[in-house]
Structures are given as C-alpha cells and as structure tokens.
Chains A and B, each alone.
Chain A
Amino acid sequence: MQFMLLFSRQGKLRLQKWYVPLSDKEKKKITRELVQTVLARKPKMCSFLEWRDLKIVYKRYASLYFCCAIEDQDNELITLEIIHRYVELLDKYFGSVCELDIIFNFEKAYFILDEFLLGGEVQETSKKNVLKAIEQADLLQEKTETMYHSKSFIGYKKAY
C-alpha cells in the first residue's frame, strides 16, 4: 500500500499515512485530487478506481471516507477488508467510534494503525493482539495523565 487517507464528507482530511517518500507539496496535491475524485462518485459505484498508475480502494463509513492507494498487483478486495478491520479496531477501542473520536484522539488512531499496518503491509491481523498492544501502552500511562487533555486543549479543539 502506498498511502491511506481518511477524510470527511466535507473533504476535511482526518488522517493521512504515507508509506512512500513524497514531498509535502505532492502529498497536498494528491490529497486534493483524490478527495475530489472520490467525493464525486455515487453511492452504488464500485469501490475501486484506476488513478495514475495506482489503484484506489475506498469505502465510506458514516461521515468518513477511508481511501487506500495500492499498486497494480495488489489485491483490491483484501484492501477493502483492511479498511474494515481498521474500522473495527477503532470501534472496539473507542466503543462505537465516530468522526469526533478520530479528531480528538488522533494520536490513538495513528497508534492503532501502526500496530495493524507497518510500512504499508499488514503486520498483525488479530484484533485481540492489536488492541492488547495498545492497551498495554495505555497502562504504562501515569495515573495523573489518564485525564490527558487539559481543559484548554479540549476547549481549543472545540472551537472548530
């Protein structure tokens, strides 16, 4: 996999993960182009499309689009299930996940993704194992930090 993007129905990027080296400018250009292309597609259309020399696999969950770019010889259907498994992992961790969870706890979304996919390849498919790793990490957190977000931080985020 070359990269994964999560964006909202309004086209706001919520998470980006790049597995190939690209300049910031290219990343922005790709993001803009893909968000537009995918948002323009109708619900019943197929989840795959050719884009440049890559294949795009995308799926919508509620207000969020999950979009992966894979190479020519990669398997589209299994990529679709990579997306689903990631959604399941988020869901299990946050307890019925919604877009706001990913906005406000973006670091967790990244940590979970790193346990599941690394360098663009599936690392661990067992839900139990992935969440165990994350929970272990959470246990290492100092007690004083369980209320990790200071008030001002949350207040700041709520401004948007």
Chain B
Amino acid sequence: KSKEAEIKRINKELANIRSKFKGDKALDGYSKKKYVCKLLFIFLLGHDIDFGHMEAVNLLSSNKYTEKQIGYLFISVLVNSNSELIRLINNAIKNDLASRNPTFMCLALHCIANVGSREMGEAFAADIPRILVAGDSMDSVKQSAALCLLRLYKASPDLVPMGEWTARVVHLLNDQHMGVVTAAVSLITCLCKKNPDDFKTCISLAVSRLSRIVSSASTDLQDYTYYFVPAPWLSVKLLRLLQSYPPPEDAAVKGRLVECLETVLNKAQEPPKSKKVQHSNAKNAILFETISLIIHYDSEPNLLVRACNQLGQFLQHRETNLRYLALESMCTLASSEFSHEAVKTHIDTVINALKTERDVSVRQRAADLLYAMCDRSNAKQIVSEMLRYLETADYAIREEIVLKVAILAEKYAVDYSWYVDTILNLIRIAGDYVSEEVWYRVLQIVTNRDDVQGYAAKTVFEALQAPACHENMVKVGGYILGEFGNLIAGDPRSSPPVQFSLLHSKFHLCSVATRALLLSTYIKFINLFPETKATIQGVLRAGSQLRNADVELQQRAVEYLTLSSVASTDVLATVLEEMPPFPERESSILAKLKRKKGPGAASALDDGRRDPSSNDINGGVEPTPSTVSTPSPSADLLGLRAAPPPAAPPASAGAGNLLVDVFDGPAAQPSLGPTPEEAFLSELEPPAPESPMALLADPVPAAEPGADWHPGHPAPLPLPPRFVCKNNGVLFENQLLQIGVKSEFRQNLGRMYLFYGNKTSVQFQNFSPTVVHPGDLQTHILSGLGQPPTKRVAAQVDGGAQVQQVLNIECLRDFLTPPLLSVRFRYGGAPQALTLKLPVTINKFFQPTEMAAQDFFQRWKQLSLPQQEAQKIFKANHPMDAEVTKAKLLGFGSALLDNVDPNPENFVGAGIIQTKALQVGCLLRLEPNAQAQMYRLTLRTSKEPVSRHLCELLAQQF
C-alpha cells in the first residue's frame, strides 16, 4: 500500500521480467507479450523502464494480432529515437504496410502517427500519400493514412513531397464515407496553410459539404449524428478549413456559404431538441466556429451584428462555459468596425460579470472584453470599474489589470488631470503591481504637457500627505515636485519648506533607489527654492548621508553637497534646469502587455534593463551626475532602446563637461571625471554592427589602471591562474551566483560562452553583465556581445536557472590586461555588483609552430637583443611532474618541440601570437631543476612587452 511497498513490489517484478528475458529458454510469443505488457503497465504507473524494447520489437513481426498489437503499443508509448531500434521497427512497419491486410496496415499507420519522429518520416513520408489516394485502399486505412501523414507533415514538413496526389486528396472531401472526410479535412487544413493556391478547390467542395450537413435533418446522417446534431466534428472542421481562406470569390459559392452561416444562426434560436448538455455543446460548438468564420471574413455587417446579439444572449446563460466563451468571442468582435458598437451595448452585463462571476478565469475574460470594447465614449466608466475591481482582484491578474488601466487612461484621456488621477489611484490601490514602465510613463506625460504640471504637483502633494503611502507614490511625488514644485509654492500650505519636510518625512522608510531619487529632488529644490538651501545642505552633510554604506547614496550626497556649495547660481540653474520634453513614441506599457500575453513572457527581455548605461536615469542607481543636469532626451526613460538614439543636444553635453569642471576643482574627485562623458558617449555612438554593446571608447587616458573605473564597481577580482592554460571552467562562485566559462580561440579571434547560474531560489532582477575595457584596452582587444541580439542575457534570472551569454573577441594588437566583466543584479531588492577579469590573455591567440632544431636555434639567435628576452628563475609551487608540465605548456598554446634541447629534461616551445595588426613570434625554454625544486624560464619574442608578459603569465603556472 505504501509508496515503498509499491516500489519494492515493482522492483521485484522488474527483476523477474529481466531474468525471463535474459534466460536461456526462448520465450514463446505469448509470454513475451505478457511480460512486455507488464512492463508497459509499470511504465504507465510512472516508473522508468530501460529494457524490453528488443522483445517488443520482436512482437511486431508476430503474425498473431494481439502480440503485434501489444508490440506496437509498447513502441508507441515508450520509444524515443533509439536509432538502432528504429531501423528494426521500421522494417516491421514496412512489412505490415505492404501486407494488404487492412487491420495490420492500420496498426502500422497508428504507430507511425504516434511516434511521428523524423526517422519515421524519412522512411515512410513518400509511401503514405500513395496509400491515402490508392483506389483500392479500405476506408479505415485512408482515414489513418490521412492523419498519419498530417502528423509527419507537422513534425517535418520538408519530408512530405507535394505532387499530383494533392489534387486527389482535395477530392476526398466528396468521399461517400463521412469518416474519410473527417480525417481528410484535418490534413487539408494543415497543408493548405503553406500552399493555399494548390488547395484552392477545397473551398467550393467544403462549402457544398457543409451546406449538405447543415440542411440535413437530424436523423439523415445516422451514426454521424450526435445528440440530434448532424456531424458536429466534421462541421467544425469544415468551418475551420474555410478560415484559412478569404471569402469565396465565386458569387454562387459565397451565396451558398452565407446561407449556411445564417442557417446556423437561425438554429441557435430554435428550441433545443434535447435537454442533454451534449446536444447544446455540439450545437454551440458549430455556432462558435461559425461566428469565428464571420469574424474572420469581417465583411458582412449583418452577420456580425447577429453574431454579437447571439453572444449577448450567452452572456447571461446559466452555463459557465457558455458565458466564458461568449466573453472570449466578443473580444474579437469588438475589434471589428461593424460590430464594435453592438458589443458596446453589453457593457453593463460585462461589468456585472466582472463583479459577480465566481470563477477567476471568467472574470479575466470579462476584464479582457472591457479592455477591448473601451473607446473615448466609455473610457471613464470602464476605467473606474476596473479600478474598483482591482481592489478585490486576484493577485495573479492584478499586474495585467494595472497595465490595462494605464493604457486605457492614456489612450482615451480627454483631459490629462483625469489621467494623472487615474495613475495615482492605481498606485494607491495596487502600488505593488505598478511596474516601472507605468510610473515612468506618467512622469513623461507630465513633463511633456505643461497644462497638467501644476495639477500634477498639487495632486501628488496631497497624495503624499496620506499617513501611509506606497513607495511608488514617493518616487512619482519626489520627481514631480523636484521638477514642478515651484508651481504650487505660492500657496502657504505647500510652501517650499513644507514640500521639503513632507518628502523628507518619507525618506527613511524608502529603499536605496528611492532615496537616491529623493536626493536628486533635494538638489533640484536648492535651485528652485534658494531658501531651502541651508536645510538641504544640512541634510546632505549629515553623517548618515556622507558616510552612507551605500556607495550610490554616499556619492550623490557628496556630489550634490559640493555642487551646491561651489557652483554659482547661474551654473546651478543650468545644471539643474527643468527636464526637456521627451520624444513621443509608442508607450512601452503596451509592449509590456503584449509580452505578458506572449508565450515567452517569463523570459522576455525587459528592454528597459538592457542597457545599464541608459536605464537608470530615474531609478537612480547608476552613478551618473548627469542625472541632475539635463539628461539628453535620448536618455532611455521608457527603455525603448531599439531605435538609434538621436544625437544629444550640445547643451546637455556642455552641461556634462561643466560638471566635470566643477568637480575637477576644489573637491578633486578623481573618479568622477569620465563618468558623464562616458554616459553621453554611449548615447551618442550608434552601436557598432559587430558588437552591439561595443564598449565605450574611453576619452580620458587613464593615469593608472583602474583610475577610470566607475566608482560604483567593485575592484576586479584577480583571474584564477589556471585560466591561463585552460579555456573552460568555473570562473567565479559564491553563495548566489556561479559563472562558468567555455571558450575557443582561432588565430586572432575568439568566442566565449559565459554561463550565469542562479544558485538561489529567488529571481535575480535587473541582471546585467557587461564587458568593460579599462584604459585604452579597446584599441588592443575588442570583445562584444555576439549577434544576434537574442543571445543577450535576460534581465531576470529565475531561481535555479542558468542563462548564457556569448562574447565575440577580436585581438587587435598585443595587450597586457584582460578585459573586465562587470555583473550587476538585484537579489531580494539588494543591489549586487562584482567585477571579474575575463580569462582572455595574450597567449590565447597563440598559434603553435613546429620547427626543426636547426631552425629553432637560428631564430633563437636572431632574437638576441636584451629587450627581446625575458627570463625568470623561480621556485616550483607544484610537484615537478614532466607530464603535467607538458600539458600546461600545450594549454598555454605554444608547440612543444622534441629533440631540440640537448638536455631531454628541458622543454622547448615555439608559436606565433596572432593579432589583427601584427604577428609576434615567440620561442620559449623551460629548464626544471628537480634537485633545487626550481625552474628557469626564458622567453624570446620580437616584442619586448610580450616577452615579459608571457614570462610572467607562464611562471605562475608551475
């Protein structure tokens, strides 16, 4: 009874069967069948079966029907393309297909249809059409052949040859046998998608078939009548087939079809012939398919309106299934210009459904329909109903409703104060479900429309007075007051100090990102309201800001404090100028909703997070002082990064430079210099075709390595020495994240696969790995994310999941330090950042060169200038094993030359380092001294820094 007992019992049985199969005594067909059947039973109980396939295949060639049948069943259920077996199986199938015994032929066809693998397609795709249209094939064989071919076509369309048989397949629509027609329609529906013209004749045949069924009395079709409905499955399939084509061109055919459709609509009004649910389901299945066809044609206003009325009746039907389907079907009707108004008349019923349906999937359909039927005339009603629903909506669909409300409010806004109210209500009711896109959008709209700015400032100010308000409200409020707080400052109830203390009262409850945004608001206040300067400077100067553990907050506090004290009012006014209008473009909320609906919603890239240099303008995690100046309008507020950004206006670039000047002055912050420049350059430069993220050219020559490093990045971790001689392995690992690497190099090119594994059970957010070339490394080596862009890493990494990134690398000239990999993400709300050296060292571009002893010594002598040689004598860190040493030298990349050095203990190697600009010939010699546990390593190359660098790299290895 218990789980263990079951497993024990099964293992015993499996052992028994195994011994029977392995035994010396040959089993007779009957026992073989018995045991194969038992295995199948055990498999279906959910246990793994790894033997018995051979015995099952043997059964296929039995001439006893039941043995064959069980053999086929086992194969259909259990076979995965085990190539050797497939050949044997195919043989048996071939025999059965050729047997002319219809029962055996059907078994074989069923098996092909059930397995449907490519191997089977290769073996049989050419034969089956022949069987299908052969004059002497039995009806049942034709049926199986049609659907078997369909399955093979779906699996591998290239294997099914089109030919003269296709015309004859179409004529199966006229077949006497309803079962043959039923099977053939499915095949034709699928085939005609690819070759509509070849199958065009099916339209008139399908219409006449349909018309005969629809007009037949309920008893005419005998066993094909189902609960008084004539041939419901065939009717639905015929209607589906017709949806593959536009309305028939032939007027007679069209007339006949419209007649059919009307008949179906009329029948829906007739009293039911049976109380059974099967009767009404079959009848309504045809009705819904008819409506689908009417919507597909979208050309018969009369039929569209009738369809809508019919669905309207279903909206109040007592069957939940019908209400669900009616809501769903009406959604598509709402988008037709002919029926949109008719759909709108049902608004009250739909709103009622949203409020009273007990099944969440039905409520979801109602919300979808409200969204679809919304236009300027009813937007206010629908939005307010959806807002009300949001308060009690299921958590699973809240985010979608929020997006929908946000879109409708924007799309149908008559006055923008209503829009602002709506979005603020959204935040109030369901703040947790309001995504960045939504509140970014409201900021964008407020910034672009000066008629609503004063109202927005007043409204957020009031909203912020609520004792508990959502953090998203603080963000929106902080941003809007920072921009437009002056518009309400005249009222003593919302004077500058009041505004400031209201915002600051929320400060301590907020996350780092929000606090960073508020700091920007404060510096903007200093410009807007000089009277608040002293207070705000006091806040910035407080130890909790200046020495904040969070580097972002600390940096903002330091910079803003310095900016406010050293800059003149003019400079301040320029830097902290009001944001310029954003360019108009499609709302990214819409894109988000589309993505949510798509199948790949979970893994869809969040565009806004793709490019770390441009997304954080409002989120405020990126240490770009340009946040407070005027970010170029191309700054990617909404994250639509697809279009190349328009050139930033000179004014803002100027502001960036200005800022640098300010900070280069008394406050001397060496790390600040390049950042704004970099940010702007990244905006200005269209992505290079080779490497879309191709790394920012760094305009400022680095005084020392790392000096130009972003202050927000941690110092890079050293490269584990083993990666000098190895291309694959685990590059980094801590409790959260594992980074694996796999790379290959050829000549001066390389490709690297990085694997990021989330070791936790929590999703990483804003996951963004980027490659950085500090200093002028970029002129030496280029590495960029590979094309196509789909290879980019998703912005979210689910718990336990692994994502992959491809890096293309090109070595332009010799280089000394590897490019860096910077990884940032949020884990449980806390930002994480780490920087690693990529395992790309100059020796990766080694091409081994074989040469004879004579050549070697000749070249060795040629490289005799003192600066061409680098030598190191060092102690062995690892046991001195000749084989290991050999492997390491080969991994390092050079060729190992035997019989060159007179001392057989020594190692001699040669190779050429391939870069785009030049080739560097390298010779090396390693002399182990086992007694002293020391090595002497000598490198000679045609380029001095290369000799030294290779010598250092290689010396770490032993």
Q: A: which residues have CB within 8 A of B?
A: 13, 15-16, 19, 21, 24, 28, 42, 44-50, 52-53, 73, 75-78, 80-82, 84-85, 106-107, 110-111, 114, 118-129, 133, 136-137, 140-142, 145, 148, 150, 153, 156-157, 159-160
**Would you call B847 an interface residue if the criterion is a C-beta within 8 Å of the partner chain's C-beta atoms?**
no
CB distance from A110 to the nearest CB of B (A): 6
Given known contacts A77-B285, A142-B64, A150-B34, is B234 in contact with A125 (CB within 8 Å)?
yes
Query: Do residues B321 and A46 form an inter-chain contact, with CB atoms below 8 A?
Result: yes
Given A76-B325, A125-B226, A126-B224, the answer on whether A21 and B285 have CB atoms closer than 8 Å is: no
A125 with B325, Cβ < 8 A, contacts A16-B44, A110-B73, A118-B110 known: no
User: Which 5 pairs of residues, A with B, have the shortest CB-CB distance?
Assistant: A119-B151, A77-B285, A140-B65, A53-B599, A78-B285
Q: How far is the CB of B62 from chain A (nearest CB, A)?
A: 11
Contact partners of B320 in chain A: CB under 8 A: 44-47
User: Do the beta carbons of A124 and B143 come within 8 Å of each other?
Assistant: yes
| B164 sits at the interface (CB 8 A) | no
C-alpha gap A45/B320 in the complex (Å): 7
Per the 8 Å Cβ criterion, residues 1-58 of B in contact with A are: 6, 9, 13, 30, 34, 37-38, 40-41, 44-46
Whether B46 pairs with A13 at a CB distance below 8 angstroms is yes
B interface residues with partner A (beta carbon < 8 Å): 6, 9, 13, 30, 34, 37-38, 40-41, 44-46, 64-66, 69-70, 73, 76-77, 80, 103, 106, 109-110, 113-114, 116-117, 140, 143-144, 147-148, 150-151, 154-155, 178-179, 182-183, 186, 223-224, 226, 231-234, 236-237, 240, 243, 278, 281-282, 284-285, 288-289, 292, 320-321, 323-325, 358-359, 361-362, 364, 598-599
Q: Which of A53, A110, A159 has the most CB of B within 10 A?
A: A110
- In whole Å, how far is A86's beta carbon from the nearest beta carbon of chain B? 12
Whether the Cβ atoms of B73 and A81 lie closer than 8 Å is: no
Shortest A57–chain B CB gap in Å is 9
The reply to whether A77 and B226 contact each other, CB–CB distance below 8 Å, is no
Complex: how many Å from CA A36 to CA B529? 60
Task: State whether B285 touches A137 (Cβ < 8 A).
Answer: no
Residues of A near B234 (CB, < 8 A) are: 125
A99 to B126, CA, bound (A): 41
Q: Is the CB–CB distance between A77 and B147 below 8 Å?
A: no
Q: How far is the CA of A118 from the CA of B362 in the complex (A)?
A: 31
Decide: B73 and A123 in contact? CB cutoff 8 A. Answer: no
Chain B interface helix/strand/loop/mixed: helix
Partner of A128, one of B154, B155, B223, B323: B223
Q: Which chain A residues border B116 with CB–CB below 8 Å? A: 21, 119
Q: Given A118-B110, A119-B148, A129-B179, check contact A153 B64 (CB 8 Å).
A: no
Contact yes or no, B223 A129, CB < 8 A: yes
From the candidates A42, A78, A142, name the one contacting B232 in the complex (CB within 8 A): A78
Q: Would you call B361 and A46 a contact (CB within 8 A)?
A: yes
Known pairs A48-B321, A77-B288, A125-B231 / 5 extra A-B pairs, C-beta < 8 Å: A19-B151, A73-B243, A107-B37, A119-B113, A122-B186
- Contacts A81-B282, A119-B116, A121-B150: A137 and B233 contacting too (C-beta < 8 A)? no
25 A-B pairs (CB sep. < 8 Å) = A21-B155, A46-B359, A47-B321, A49-B361, A75-B236, A75-B288, A78-B282, A81-B232, A81-B285, A84-B281, A107-B70, A110-B73, A114-B114, A118-B143, A118-B144, A118-B148, A119-B151, A123-B183, A125-B226, A126-B223, A128-B223, A129-B140, A153-B34, A156-B38, A160-B45
Return chain A residues, CB-CB under 8 Å to B224. Answer: 125-126
Nearest residue in A to B153 (C-beta to C-beta)? A119
With both beta carbons as reference points, the residue of chain B lying nearest to A13 in the complex is identified as: B46
CB contacts (< 8 Å) of A21 on chain B: these are 116-117, 155
Give chain A residues whose Cβ lies under 8 Å from the Cβ of B30.
145
Rounded to whole angstroms, the CA-CA distance of A80 and B285 in the bound complex is 9
**Contact between chains at A77 and B282 (CB < 8 Å):** yes
Contact A45 B358 (CB under 8 A): yes
Closest Cβ–Cβ distance, residue B27 to chain A (whole Å):
13
Q: Chain B residue with minimal CB distance to A15?
A: B44
| Closest A residue by C-beta to B287 | A77
Report the Cα distance A120→B110, complex, angstroms.
12
Q: Do the beta carbons of B34 and A160 come within 8 Å of each other?
A: no
Complexed CA–CA distance, A156 and B42 (Å)? 11
How many residue pairs bridge A and B at CB < 8 Å?
Answer: 173
Q: Are A84 and B599 in contact (CB under 8 A)?
A: no
A52 to chain B, nearest CB (A): 7
B256–chain A nearest beta-carbon distance, Å: 23
Is A123 a contact partner of B44 (Cβ separation < 8 A)? no
Q: What is the CA–CA distance of A110 and B70 in the complex, to the nearest angstrom? A: 10
A28 to B43, CA, bound (A): 12
Does the CB pair B66–A148 fall under 8 Å? yes
Closest to B324 in A: A46
Which residues on A sit within 8 Å (CB–CB) of B37?
A: 107, 153
Q: Which residue of B lies closest to A56 (CB)?
A: B361
Instruction: Please determine whether A145 and B233 come into contact, CB atoms closer than 8 angstroms.
Output: no
Whether A123 contacts B236 in the complex (CB less than 8 A), given A85-B226, A141-B65, comes out as no
CB contacts (< 8 Å) of B364 on chain A: these are 50
CB distance from B428 to the nearest CB of A (A): 29
Chain A's closest residue to B183 (CB) is A123
A75 touches B226 (CB 8 A): no
A126-B179 in contact (CB<8A): yes
**Best-surrounded residue of A45, A80, A159 (most CB of chain B within 10 A):** A45
Of B38, B103, B150, which is within 8 A of A153 by CB?
B38
Contact A137 B103 (CB under 8 A): yes
- Nearest CB on A from B353, distance (A): 12
B321 to A: closest C-beta gap in Å? 5
Q: How far is the CA of A64 from the CA of B627 in the complex (A)?
A: 62
Known A-B contacts A44-B320, A107-B73; the reply to A133 vs B106 at CB < 8 A is yes
Take A81-B226, A84-B278, A142-B64 as given contacts and tell me if A124 and B73 are in contact as well, using a CB distance cutoff of 8 Å.
no
Closest to B190 in A: A121
Q: Are B599 and A73 in contact (CB under 8 A)?
A: no
Is the Cβ of B147 less than 8 Å from the Cβ of A119?
A: yes
The residue on B at minimum CB distance from A159 is B9
With A53-B599, A119-B113 as known contacts, state yes or no: A81 contacts B281, CB within 8 Å.
yes
Are B186 and A121 in contact (CB-based, < 8 A)? yes
CB contact under 8 A between A46 and B362, given known A75-B288, A122-B182: yes
A13 to B66, alpha carbons, bound, how many Å? 25
Chain A nearest Cβ from B895, distance in angstroms: 44
Q: A44-B358, A53-B599, A119-B151 are in contact. Are A136 and B285 (CB under 8 A)?
A: no
Closest to A53 in B: B599
C-alpha spacing A50/B148, complex, angstroms: 28
Question: How far apart are the CA atoms of A160 and B284 in the complex, in Å?
Answer: 42
